[in-house]
Structure 1
Amino acid sequence: MTQLFDETFDWVVVGSGAGSMASALLMKQAGKSVVILEKAEWVGGTTCKSGGVMWIPGNRFMDAGEDSLEQACRYLDAVVPDGPDSPGTSPQRRRAYAVEAPRMLDFIIAQGVRMERGSRFWPDYYDELPGGVKTSRTVTAVPFDKNELGKEWAAKLRKGFLEVPARLDDGMKLPFMKHSWEIKKTFVKIALKLVAGKLTGKHWVTAGAALQGRMLQAVLQKEAADIRVNSPVSEVIMDDGRAAGVVTVRDGRPWRVGARLGILMNAGGFSMNQAMRDRYMPGTQSKWSNGIETDTGDMHRELERQGARLAQMDQMVGFQMTEAPGWDTDYVKPGTQSTTAKPHAIQVDQSGVRYMNEGGSYEEFCETMLVRNHTVPAIPSWAILDQQYMDKYAVAGKGMAKKNMDKWLASGWMRRADDVRALAEQIGVPADALEGTVSRWNGFVRGGRDEDFQRGERAYDNFLGDPFFTDGPNKSMGTIEKGPFYAFPVYPGDVGTYGGVVCDCDSRVLREDGSVIEGLYACGVTTASPMGRVYPGAGASVGPSMTFGWIAAKHAAGLGNQMP
């Protein structure tokens, strides 16, 4: 039967993440009308709060011969296991990504969105595997003055985590400023640009806010979409088995919006829904998540109600964190990846034993914590450091010990003792075990190899370490032998969930029996990730969201995938 709608568009998009914007720009080029319905009062979604990095194999910023389609597919096939518990991925879907991602990037840049290489050294997370790249497949947006959006839209852009005129790559180098005159010069340039910006009325943002600011600007300039905030969607309207529209809210009452070509679901995950977390990923907590407040799984539940298959729901993009002073009100929770991967630091479970490579992928790090906790208490685990660490490095994004240690100790978050056995007593782990673990680690450091977990043998491990470390060949390994000794708890946080509806290579949502729900598309963390249960490299969430949002629009508009 024909549905009655309050208004109708060609393309209806739920959520305003990067994939939504990419799809809108494609639809505009195809001459189609678009509405973007955003639940929150701000535009940008989780992308805006994130690093905004895109993992794009074979992208235009890489050198000739540095990557290829076959190399990228070889890497993804080596990293991402196929199986019945990972229906979001397949060799065909991964190849579709490797083919279309650089094309999507070229299209977006042609729309006036300024991009650049994220870094020349930001290795794949499993760079030692076939096809892995030890340089970088990352792409980021150029820092953006959000006041270019105009007062109304600048106020509607969601806050980013790094609001300074700095490239993300430069920001990650600043902690090593005292070791390099080049980095000191970079800091001075950033500081001067920030001051100049304040004097001239600029509001610089970088990372995800820069990406979404630039994407929003392109959409507005091209009049590619009618973007509506405070417009939650509660229902998908079906007509004879086809997704025909949605129910949203306008002027305080239900509002039915029809979709001639299709609906794109890019509505985020369920990181802030503790009941769903307890059901699908027990042991994780919303309070440890860096997800946004609107990530409550509304569309996961609605799409399941409409017959869509949910999968990989036990997965999250883990990002280890700690409850350092102020953590409960911090816009971004204190992360520990840059702490435990540096020299003079390890992590142990509650039995006092090391159980992982403390470098590597943050997703794998947190998954390993959760798996370990099934057999040995590991939530929280304990970061173990010595005075050498405290003299050299910041801790969990909370600054240097010299300025903050008294506050950290008084809060009870940081523990300190003159020897390892006394530290073990403070944190409630067996003294013999912790002493043995530290001694074994120091032996590995002196021998130049982590015999247990091979920390530092990946380029990525050393990327996380200290590029200026001179006490050995491994930039990620240093002894823990100079007292006092320190410990603080580490938890399996996240930047969002990683499971959702299963889609095909055209981003069409599938039912349990594998059939297509006509007119219904999805991308981003509303979907079961096309990367399965693995995070291959920095930007393996934003990159696929943009690419599969773009693919969805191409398919719905009848433009084809142009697969080779």
Structure 2
Amino acid sequence: MSHPDLPDFDETFDVVIVGSGAGGLSAAAIAAEGGASVLVLEKAARIGGTTRKSAAALWIPGNRFMREAGIDDRPEDVVRFLARIGRPALYDPNAPRFGLPQWEYDMLITFCENAATAQDELERVGAMWLAPSPFGISDYQGHRPENLNPVGRTLYEAETLGAANGGQVLVDRLAAGAEAHGAVIRVEHEVEDVVLGEDGAVVGLEVRTPGGQVRIRARAGVIFASGGFTHNPEYRVQFLNGPFMGGCAAPTNTGDFLRIGMQLGVELGDLSEAWTVAINTERMEREPDTFMSSFYVLGDGMIEVNRSGRRVVNEKAPYNEHGRVMSDWDPVELRYPNMPLIAIWDQQVADRWGIDRFGNPVPAPDADPYWVVSGDSLEELAEAIDAKLVELGPRTGNARLDADFVENLRATIERYGELADAGVDTDFRRGDTQFERYVSSRFGDGDGPNPLMRRLDTSGRLYASVLALGTLDTKGGPRTTPHREVLRPDGSTIPGLYAVGNCAASATGQGYPAAGATLGPIVTEGYLAAKRVLSRI
């Protein structure tokens, strides 16, 4: 760590923010409107980070639209739900804090108590414009009895309402709002280190710019909002609990703040967890700026199997729960038997559900389907899949198909067909939940007794795509107070240092409650950090 007795600072601002996604820009807008001089530093050549790639959904418990509808979304009730899905092994509805550790409870209740206020304030300062989902989207675990208000918390950027360009519009609106109040935003500015004062406070940053190295002073504080460590292979192997192969976070999310935090000796938390999702590693490498994880695999005549040719998961489950099955461990074969998963669909699905949204592996009609293989028989399809696995190599854990793959796949397809004909998936409960049925209705129900299932037509051509374990981003890092001050292991805070979003430790455990459950907390955290920094001016 460097000290201010080195050469003078090149510039001085009240608040310096690292990262220009939703968290950083929310903090910038609130701090600038509050009278602070604000500088936002973005590592990439354009602003927005991972937020820019999103559909701009924000999960805001107790938002004003719910209040106007007469829905009382009590913070304590929301925390109960989050405890149940995030820490199921600790959850006790009758215990203090529902069984959660004190830190996690404090973080969650603070979010729930401030999310609606953060939205209202960001809209007041001209940095945000949200609207309810026009489709009545449910929380992912809306079927859980602990979730008392499963519809209404997910809001969208009002201009786009979930369209593919929503993240771009959200980022541009946040940036314009911040700049309207005097914030300065600079791209291609990579923060390499913090500058410490004699008392251990963070007083500035060492920054690499296109024009060379500079030192920037922050009179009131530095707020890191620089994303997680999805694209740091060393950190993925060291910290994550499972064979993660990458993800759809911005390519610049390489764990910069985790590195700096470890050098400072901060308290760390939740490093083994991530916002989990299936990914196509080929698309991740070839389309890094626009690639999306496979949030949904569309179609009724579609299944997913492991390398043995067996179904192992509800293919329509929310992506966090769907992806986690790839971390299952075989104690006899000593391998991850479900990594990768192989999505297989028939010609009807190819013709009807080829949509370039949400990382759907079924390619759109005008796409170059380089990630898809096909065959006119199960044997031909298996040969093509195995050749693709050889090509992918370490990108899918060097997996190969088992010798009995075709035999098992044939039995799997027949079993799935029987379930589809009956209309009930007694194996994996596909189509049981409110959220699954919502997604199906949005993209087109099938015609069978269960609109999410149909017997695969093996008389025509079959298609497949290989899905690996990935992240939207990681969710571990330095721990903070509920107001985003970075903590030391002894419980004290590092003066002048704040962190929001995926660069910091999350209190959500293994849970992922709903669409917008990353961005909703992130903008709330940006708001809380900015308000705390303003109190120092």
Common topology (TM > 0.5):
yes
The answer to whether structure 1 residue 68 and structure 2 residue 97 are counterparts is no
Q: How does 1:111-122 map to 2 (within 5 A)?
A: 111-112=125-126, 113-122=128-137
Query: 1:396 offset after TM fit, Å?
Result: 6.3
1:168 corresponds to: 162
Pick closer, same or farther for the CA change 1:66–1:245 going to 2, 3 Å. same
Q: Secondary structure at the match of 2:344?
A: strand
Query: 1:442 offset after TM fit, Å?
Result: 2.2
Distance 1:168 1:2 in 2: 46
Query: 1:412 offset after TM fit, Å?
Result: 8.1
Maintained 8 Å contact 2:202/2:222: yes
Q: Secondary structure at the match of 1:209?
A: helix
Query: 1:254 offset after TM fit, Å?
Result: 3.1
Distance 2:313 2:166 in 1: 29
> Amino acid of the residue matched to residue 343 of structure 1?
D
Distance 1:381 1:518 in 2: 46
Give the alignment partner of residue 352 of structure 2, picking from 382, 386, 392: 392
Pick closer, same or farther for the CA change 1:390–1:230 going to 2, 3 Å. closer
Distance 1:376 1:41 in 2: 38
Pick closer, same or farther for the CA change 1:346–1:45 going to 2, 3 Å. same
The answer to whether structure 1 residue 357 and structure 2 residue 314 are counterparts is yes
Query: 1:375 offset after TM fit, Å?
Result: 4.2
Maintained 8 Å contact 1:88/1:503: no
1:59 corresponds to: 63
Maintained 8 Å contact 1:345/1:386: yes
The answer to whether structure 1 residue 528 and structure 2 residue 505 are counterparts is yes
Maintained 8 Å contact 2:480/2:487: yes
Count of residue pairs the alignment pairs up: 494
Distance 2:485 2:36 in 1: 19
Q: Which runs of 4+ in 1 moved over 6 A?
A: 86-89, 324-327, 398-402
Give the alignment partner of residue 238 of structure 1, picking from 183, 191, 196: 196
**Cα shift readout 1:167-226 (whole Å, capped 9, x = no counterpart):** 425x6xxxxxxxxxxxxxxxxxxxxxxxxxxxxxxxxxx311110100111111221x12
- The 10-residue stretch of structure 1 (87-96 or 523-532) with the greater mean CA deviation from structure 2: 87-96
Pick closer, same or farther for the CA change 1:210–1:93 going to 2, 3 Å. same
Maintained 8 Å contact 2:31/2:530: yes
Percent identity among equivalent residues? 30
Pick closer, same or farther for the CA change 1:543–1:334 going to 2, 3 Å. closer
- The 10-residue stretch of structure 1 (14-23 or 57-66) with the greater mean CA deviation from structure 2: 57-66
The answer to whether structure 1 residue 441 and structure 2 residue 399 are counterparts is no
**Cα shift readout 1:340-390 (whole Å, capped 9, x = no counterpart):** x53111111111111111122212222221335764433322112223323
Query: 1:15 offset after TM fit, Å?
Result: 1.2
The answer to whether structure 1 residue 316 and structure 2 residue 331 are counterparts is no
**Cα shift readout 1:81-122 (whole Å, capped 9, x = no counterpart):** 1889x9896122111111111100001111123222244322
Distance 1:402 1:509 in 2: 45
1:381 corresponds to: 341
Task: Give the TM-score normalised by structure 2.
Answer: 0.83
> Amino acid of the residue matched to residue 522 of structure 2?
S
Maintained 8 Å contact 1:236/1:245: yes
Question: Mind listing any 5+ residue stretches in structure 2 that lack a counterpart?
Answer: 91-99, 386-400
Maintained 8 Å contact 1:390/1:400: yes
The answer to whether structure 1 residue 125 and structure 2 residue 140 are counterparts is yes
Distance 1:363 1:316 in 2: 9
Q: How does 1:50-199 map to 2 (within 5 A)?
A: 50-62=54-66, 64-69=69-74, 70-81=76-87, 90-112=104-126, 113-129=128-144, 130-131=146-147, 133-143=149-159, 166-168=160-162
**Cα shift readout 1:430-457 (whole Å, capped 9, x = no counterpart):** 2332222222222222333222222211
Distance 1:76 1:482 in 2: 42
Distance 1:536 1:134 in 2: 10
Q: Secondary structure at the match of 1:505?
A: coil
1:461 corresponds to: 436
1:280 corresponds to: 239
2:466 corresponds to: 489
**Cα shift readout 1:296-352 (whole Å, capped 9, x = no counterpart):** 21221011101112332233323323367897246433644432x531111111111
Maintained 8 Å contact 1:88/1:532: no
Q: CA RMSD in A?
A: 3.1
Maintained 8 Å contact 2:445/2:451: yes
Pick closer, same or farther for the CA change 1:399–1:358 going to 2, 3 Å. closer
- The 10-residue stretch of structure 1 (447-456 or 298-307) with the greater mean CA deviation from structure 2: 447-456
1:227 corresponds to: 185
The answer to whether structure 1 residue 471 and structure 2 residue 447 are counterparts is yes
Maintained 8 Å contact 2:294/2:361: no
Q: Secondary structure at the match of 1:513?
A: coil
Pick closer, same or farther for the CA change 1:454–1:372 going to 2, 3 Å. farther
Distance 1:491 1:245 in 2: 40
2:392 corresponds to: none
Pick closer, same or farther for the CA change 1:60–1:377 going to 2, 3 Å. same
> Amino acid of the residue matched to residue 339 of structure 2?
I
2:94 corresponds to: none
- The 10-residue stretch of structure 1 (446-455 or 520-529) with the greater mean CA deviation from structure 2: 446-455
